[in-house]
Amino acid sequence: MLDIEKYRMAYHTQKANARARGIEFLLTFQEWTNFWGEDIERRGSGQFDLQMQRNADTGPYAIWNIRKGTPKQNSATYQAMTRKRECEESAEELQIALDAAMNDDSRLDHDLDGREPHYFALGIKSSYRHRYHYIK
């Protein structure tokens, strides 16, 4: 098989894999081969091979949003972005709980009927007799 045919097959495989993962692939074959340049034979999943990686593991595969890196670097980026998304989700949940708690009147524990999960999301713990909530 000629190298160009091998590269064309690799290009279409990468494009199909991106589509299967729900990621846009906006590179033409020419852009793809120019991106890889002399490193095209180093493509792979081995420890010292190179992979096409999206910046911050988000957005499409596009010439302005890709770089070369090792699988270890790709994994580190993925883990960092996953932690970031989890932190953002937790912050959003906390903000929702804070907003809900701030809109409720103050009351004693015995007035709670178990339908106030936002208090528990805030980490508010009850004393044996009373729990205090602050009103704005």
Q: Is the pLDDT of residue 119 over 80?
A: no
The sign one gets for the Cα dihedral 10, 22, 59, 53 is negative
List, in sequence order, every residue forming a beta bridge with 53; answer none if it has no partner. 67
- pLDDT-derived band at 6 (thresholds 50, 70, 90) equals very high
- The more confidently predicted of residues 123 and 78 is 78
- Can you tell me the distance from the alpha carbon of 33 to that of 31, in angstroms, rounded to the nearest whole number? 6
- Provide the pLDDT for residue 67: 94
The mean pLDDT of the chain is 81
Mean pLDDT, residues 112-130 taken together:
55
Which of 63, 43, 65, 44 has the alpha carbon at shortest distance from 54?
A: 65
Domain ranges of the chain: 3-69
Which of 84, 96, 87 has the alpha carbon at shortest distance from 121?
A: 96
- The more confidently predicted of residues 105 and 131 is 105
- pLDDT-derived band at 128 (thresholds 50, 70, 90) equals very low
Q: Is the pLDDT of residue 12 over 80?
A: yes
